[in-house]
Structure 1
Amino acid sequence: MTNKVADAQGVYFSGQLQSEAQLENNLIAQLASQGYERVVIENETDLLANLKRQLEKHNKTVFSDNEFSKILNHLNKGNVFERAETLRDKFNLKRDDDSTLYIDFIDQIEWCQNQYQVTNQITMEGEYKNRYDVTILINGLPLVQIELKRRGLELKEAFNQTNRYQRHSFGAGAGLFQYIQLFVISNGVNTKYYANNRKQSFKQTFFWSDKDNKAITQLESFAKSFLEKCHLSKMITKYIVLNQTDKILMVLRPYQFYAVEAIIDKVKNSVHNGYIWHTTGSGKTLTSFKSSQILTNLPNVDKVVFCVDRKDLDYQTAKEFNSFSEGSVDSTDNTQKLVKQFGDDTKLIVTTIQKLNTAIMKERYKSAMEPLKDKHVIFIFDECHRSQFGETHQRITEYFNHYQMFGFTGTPIFAENVASNKLGKRTTRDLFGECLHKYVITDAIRDENVLKFSVEYISTFKQHDIVQDLEVQDIDTKEVMESPQRIEAIVDYIIANHERKTHAKEFTGMMCVSSVETLTRYYDLFKVKKEAGEHNLKVATIFSYAANEDDKDADDSIPEETTDMSGKTVNLHSRDKLESYIGDYNDMFGTKYTTKDSRSFYNYYNELAKRVRDKQVDILLVVNMFLTGFDSKPLNTLYVDKNLKYHGLIQAFSRTNRIMGDKKSQGNIVCFRNLKQATDDAIGLFSDKNAKDTIIMEPYENYVEQFNKALEALRSIAPDVASVNDLASEEDKFNFIKAYRELMRVYNVLATFTDFEFEDLAIDEQEYADYGSKYLDLHDSIKNDRQKEKVSILNDVDFELELIHRDEINVTYILKLLGQLKDAPEKEHEARKKNIIDMLSGDVGMRSKKELIEKFIHENLPEIQNGGQVEEHFKQFWKEQDQTAIKRICEEENLDQEKVQKLISSYLFTEKLPYRDDVVETMNKKPKILKRKSVSQRVLDQMLDYIKTFIDGAPE
C-alpha cells in the first residue's frame, strides 16, 4: 500500500490510508473464512505459476511446461467476449506423449466443484503499471475483480477505475485479466456488481438483493450472500448471458435470478404453474430467455414453448432470443412449421398464441400433434394478461396431459381491473396460480432500473390557448375532444415544446390518440404545418385498418392491433389513408412499402420500429400499436390524447422509462386529457397507494428550490466564476466538480418543463454557463494530467459531460450568430464576439472547435462582405483546415494518409475502435514491438481528436 503506482489506494487525502486498507483486509479475511484459499500473488509470474497448479488440481493431472505453454497459447486469444466463450468450452490438449486430454477451465454442471482463491494487490504493467485491489480466482483464472474506495467516496469512481484498468493493463502479458466475468465495486457502505462489458454505463451496475427485493448494500453482507463460493460460480456459469448480437456479457439482476430459480424449482419439484410479476421495462425478455434456456437442459422437459400474442412480437421476441444465443430460436412463420417443430428435435420454440391455437384445434394437424399429448411441455407466456388468452388456456389444459405453464407480466389482472369475456371474469391468479416472484415499479425505480415519470396535464379547451387548468376538463364530449380548434392547439403545443421535451431531438416521442379517425386529423395537420414551414419534425404512423379498431374506453386493456389483416374486414378509408402516410414515409426514407402486400406491410412495421429506435423518427403517431411490447431507449416523451386506465395506462407510460445515460432523467408524459385520477388508481393497483411520490416526478417548483440550494452549495466553494481559478487543493477542485455536477443534474430536469424560465433561478444564464466553462477547464487539465500518470483523487471523477452539452448549440447555430455578428453595428461587435466565444467554451460538444472558429473570426470574417456570405466562406475554411489537420497528423507520425482516411471511414461506419494492428498498419515505419502499444495509442488518440473536431457536428 505504500508504493505510488498509477492507482495506489489511500493517497487521496492525508490520514485516509488505513480505512481503505482495513476495508480490503477485512474482506479478504471474510472470504477466507467462507472457504476461499488466501494466496499471495504479486505479479504475472506468480499468477501463471498459480494458474498451472490450479488447472492441474481441477483437471486431476500434471502438465509439463510444454503442455502448459499450449494451454496458455490457447487462453491468450480473442477479446473479452471470445475469452468468455473459451472459458465455457473445453480445450483438446495434445500431450507430450501424443495422447489427448480435454481440459476443463470451469465446471458448469457441478458449479460448486471448482477451486476458489482470493488475493490482493496484483501488479500488472501494460501501458501503465496498475495494482488491483482484490481478485477472486476460480481454477487459477481471475474471474472476479473487486475494487474498493474508502467510505465517503462515490462508487462511480471505482467504476471508472475498472474502465481505466481495461484500457491500460488488463490486456498485458498473457491477458488473463480479460477473463474477468464480473466486477464488484464498493465503498463499504454501498456495493454493486456488473458484467465485464466495455459498452456498459454506470447505470447498468446493480445492487444485489434478497428474494423480497431488499437491497444488500454493505460489503460484509454482500460478500456473505453474493460472494459465497457456490452462488458466485452459479452466477458465472448459469446467469451470465453471452449476447451474440452485440458480443457482450450480460449478467442477471437479482430479481431476474430469483424469478428463474423459482420457475426451475416448480418444474423440477412440482406439477404446478405460476406467474412472474416484473414491472414493464425491467428486462422480462432476458429473464424469460434464461428460464427457457435452463429448462431446455433439464432431462425431464421435452419442449419449451414461448408464446407471444401477435405476429409482430413473434418476430421481435425471436430476434431478441437469438441475440442472447445465436440460432437458439427458430421463429415459426406458419402453423405448418410450428407443428413440424413440435415433432422434431427443436427444444425451444417461439410462436404466437394464434398459431398454437390452430395447431391443437385443426383436424389436419391431429396425427402430427397426437404424440405430444403425454410429453412434458413447458409453456411460457409473454404478457400473460391478454384478453384472448382465456380460450388458449382452456384448450392447452384440455389438450396436453403433462404440461406446465408460466406467465410473465408487468401488469397483472386483479379483481379490481378484471374484464369479462365469455369464459367469465378471470384474474392472472385464476389462470396461472401463485405469483412466484414480484418486482413492481417502485422496486425498479428505487434500484434505478427504470426512470420516474414526469406527468404534465395540459388543457386545450380554450381555442389556441394552452391553459393548465384541470377544472375545465370536466368537458369530455366527443364533439369537443375532436374539435379542429382543440387538435390544432395540441399540435401547436407539440411543435412549440417538442425540442424542449426531447433535449433538441436527442430523444424521440410517441403520440397515442383515441381512434384512427382522430389520428388522421393529427397526421394531416402536422403535414400541413410542415409544408407551411412551421416545423421540421419527422412524423410517421402505423395503425390497423381493420373495421372497428377504435378504443373501448370502458376497458383498461389496450386493444391489440396487428399487421396480419388476413380474414379481417377492412376499413377502406383507413387503408387508403395509411397507404398515403406510408407513401410519405417512403419519400422520407427512400423505401417502397405498401399495405397492398401483407409481407410488405409487416416489413414496414419492423423497419419503422428500427427507425424509431435509431432516432430517425421524431414522433410516432399511433392508436394502440407500439403501446405494449415495444422497447426503445431513446423514446423519452409520450403525448397522450386518449383515455387510459390501469394496466393500459402503465403499459403506455412505460414506453418512456427505459434507462439511457445521464441526460435521460425521466420519462415525459404530456396528457391532453384529465388522466390524473386514472394515473393515481393505476399506481395504487400496481404498487401501492402511497407510491405516487416514488413513481411521479416532483412539481416544477420543487426542482427550482433544489437548483437554488445546489447553487448555494456551489457558491460556498466558489463564490463567483473567477474564484474557481483560486481553488488550490485537489479536495477543493473535487468538491467544486461535485457541486457543479449536481447543479447540472437538476438543471437537466428543469429544462424539460414547459414552465421553465431562467428568471425563476437565483443565477442568470450567462453566469451558469461561465461556471460550466470553468468546469470544463478542470476536465481538460485533469485529462492531461492523467496522460502523465499522475496519482490523484481527480483521476476517476465522472464529469457527466453529456449534461453540459447545450442542446441548441451546434455549428449551424454558431454560423447564424457569425452572420449576425458580421451585420451588427461596430459598437456591438466585441460583446457579440465574446458571447460566441463564451458559448464555445461552455459547451462540451463545441469546445474542440473553439480554436478553429476563433481563427475564422479573426482571420476570415473581416474579409467577408455581409452576413449572408458567412456560411459559404466558413465551409470552405472548414474544408481547408480539415485537410491541413489530417496532413499534419500524417506528417508528424509518418503515416500513410490514404490508409488513415480508410481507417477513419471504417471507424465511422462500424463505430468500433480499430485494433492496435490496424493503427500500426497505417505507419510507414513500424515501431519496435515494445513501443507499439504506446505509439499506436498516441496515433489513435490523435485520430479520435480529429474526428471530434472536424467530423462530429461538422457543417453540412
Structure 2
Amino acid sequence: DPTDPDLPERNPNNHNGYDTAYLWEEVWNTESVLDILEHFIREVEERDENGKKTGKKLLFPRYHQLDAVRRLVLHARSNPTGESYLVQHSAGSGKSNTIGWLAYYLATLYDDEDRRLFDSIIVITDRRVLDQQLQETIRQFEQVKGVVSTISGRKAKGLSEALSENKDIIVVTVQTFPHAIHEIAKRPGNRFAVIIDEAHSSQTGASARSVREVLSPKTLEEAEYHEEPDIDDEDLVNSQIEQYLKTTQRPKNISFFAFTATPKQKTLELFGRRNRMGEFEAFHLYSMHQAIAENFILDVLANYTTFKVYFNLLKKIEDDPMYPRRKATALLRSYVDLHEHAINKKCEIILDHFSNEVMHRIGGQAKAMIVTRSRLHAVRYKRTLDRLIREDHLPFKALVAFSGEVLDPDLQGKFTEGGMNGFPDRQTADEFKRPENRLLVVANKYQTGFDQPLLHTMYVDKKLSGVAAVQTLSRLNRIHPQKSDTMVLDFANDAQEIERSFAPYYEKTLLEEPTDPNRLYDLQYQLDQAAIYTADDVEAFGNEYFAEKGRQEMLLTIIRPVVENYTHLEKEDRETFKKALRQFVNLYAFLSQIITFQDVALEKYYQFARYLQKALPKENERLPVDVIENIDMDSYRIQETSSGRVMINADGTLKQPDEKPLHPLPEEKVPLSEIIQYINENFGTDFTNEDKIAYFADDMEKRLIDNTTLRQTFNPEINSRENVRIAFNNFFEETLVEMLSTNKEIFKKINDDEAFARLFKDYMFNRIYVQIVAGTG
C-alpha cells in the first residue's frame, strides 16, 4: 500500500525537490557514471537451471549495493587499517555481487603515498553451496586473468604462495582459513582486508566443533533429545576469527568487512559500531522490510498457517506414580508429537496440501521443503512419504538430506542420505532441480545457504526460534518470474513465536548495551566455592598448558582428580557447577575479542575451565522412560489454528539475555493422572470416533507388521491369500487382546458388533497384506 508510511515502497520525501532527484543528482552525475563504468558494470555468463551457459548479460548494481560499496570504500580510504564493518543486508539482496564488487574495489585502493591500501583481499565463506556461487561471482567479475586465487581444502602451500605474491583477491574456505590466520600473523608489515560472508559469532568462541558422531537412538523421542542443537554454518568461520583476535587483540593491519542478514548480539558487539545513543548497529543496512517492499524478495510470512496438535492420553497402569509436573508435561507432549501415528498423519496432510494447493504453482514447477526435528525423523518421513506416494500413484518424488549414518531401531537398518536417494549426497542439491523431485525432507541441512527459487512451500515439524527461524524460513523468499507468493504450514510453532523471531531482523538490528566483564569474576568466585579444585591445580595446569613442550598426559593428570571430586557432589550442586562453568567459558571466549585482559591468572583459569568442561561426565537429565511406558495415546488430531499473515512489530532492539538462576527451584511432583488430565484439558478436544479408530488402526498395523511370524505367514510363495487370511484372524484376535488397555471403547465395539468387526478385520487384512506382499511394510 503506497499510502502506508510504514512501508518503504516510496523514496524518502525530498523537501527541496523531486523525490527521485537522487537519481540524476547522485547516480547520473559525471563522476558517478564514470565510477560505475570502471568498478561496477560487468559482463557475466547466464546459466539455465541445469548450469549450462545460455549467453551473456551486463550486470548493474542495485542502489543499495552501489551505496554500500561506496560508503565502505570511502571510510576505508579515509581511516587507518584495523577497522571493522558490519553490513546487514537481507537474504536475497544480491550479497554475493556486493561482496564481489567490494573485493575488486578494495583491491584498487591506494593511500596518499601511492601505496596499495591493502596488499591482499581475503574472502572467507564456509557454506559449500554458496562458496561455489561466490567464487563463480568473483571470477566472473575478473577482468584480468590471475587477479583471483581460490584456495580450497587445506592447501597451506598454495595459500602461502598467494599471500607472498600479493595476489589481489584470495578466496578461502573455512577449512583453509586456519592456515590463512597463521600466514597473516607472519606478515605484520602487510595490510589485509578480510571479507566475511555471513558473519556470526560462534557459540563457544573456541575452535570449530568436530563432525557429529553417528548416534543410535532407540526411539524417535531419544533421536530428538540427542540431536545436537543447530549450529549456524557461519559460526564455523567466525570461531576461527574469534580465536585469532583472542591471540592478537585487534591487529592494526587487518580490516574486517562482515556481511550478514541476521546479526546476533555477539556479532553486533564484535563487528558493529556504536551510534549516538550508545547502541551497537551495522555500518550499512538493507533491511528485510525494504527488500520485500522493493520486490527483491518475497514475504515468507504472508501465508503462514499453524497447526495445533490436539490429543488425549490414556494412563495404562492402575497405580498413580508421582512425577515433576513441568518435565513430565513436556515429555508427554513430546511423546505425542514423536509417535509413529503423528508422522503418518502429518505426511498425509503434507501430500494432500502439496497435491491440491502447491504443485501447480510457479507454472507447475513448485517445490516444497519438510523441516524435521532429527535425522531419525527425516528417515521416517522419507519412508512414509515414499509409501504414501506409491499407494496414491502421485506424480512426484521426495528426496532427503541429513548427515552421517542413522540407525532406525525399529527396522534394525542403517540409512544414509545417498542410500535413500539413490545417488551420492553431494548431488542432492542438483538432483532436487529435476522436475520430478518436488519434496525435500531435511534435518539440520539445507536450512541455510540454499538458494532454490522454485521452493514455494515449507512444512515445519521442528521448534524454531531466533536466527534459526529467520534463516530457515528465508529459504522460500527467492524470487522467480512466475512466483508470486509462498506458503508455510507449521506443526511445531505458533505465530507469536515466529513474530518474535523475525522482529529484530525485519528492520534495523541494535544491541542496547555491551556485556559486563565483571560477570566473569562473579562466575569464577561461584565456581571456586564448589571446592573441587585448588589454586595450585589451576596454576599447575596453566604452566603446563602454556609451556613450550607441554604434554597432554600431564594436563589429564591434573584434571582427573578434579573430575573425581565433581562426581562426589550432590546432583543439584553438579548441575549448578556445570552451568556456571559453561557460562564462564562462553563469556570469556567472547569478551576476549572485545577487550584486552591484563590478568594472566584469568587466562590460565579460562584454559583450565575450558578443558575441565570437556572432561566432566554427561548426565542423563531426562525423566525415566517409565513415564512414557505408563501412558498411551487415545486419539490424535491435527487442527489448523492460525492462518494468514504474521504481523511484525519491527522493534529491532536486541537485549542481553536475562541471567537464569544457577540454583533452580525444586519442582513440584504431582500424580501422573493429574498431569494427563492437565494435558488433555489444555490440548485436547472432542475427538470423533473416526479420530480414535484411525489411531487404533495405525497402532494395530504397526504391531501386526512388527510380528515376525505373521510376516513369514504372509509369504505368497508359501501360502495362498485364502490361507493367509485364515491365519490372519488368529493374529488379529491376539493383537486385539493386547490392545485392550489402549481403547476399551473400540475393543468393546469390535467384540459386540459383528458387522463392524467384520468390516474392520477386512480393512486391516487388506491394509497389512498390501504392505507386506508389496514390500512396503
More contact order relative to length (CA 8 Å, sep ≥ 6): 2
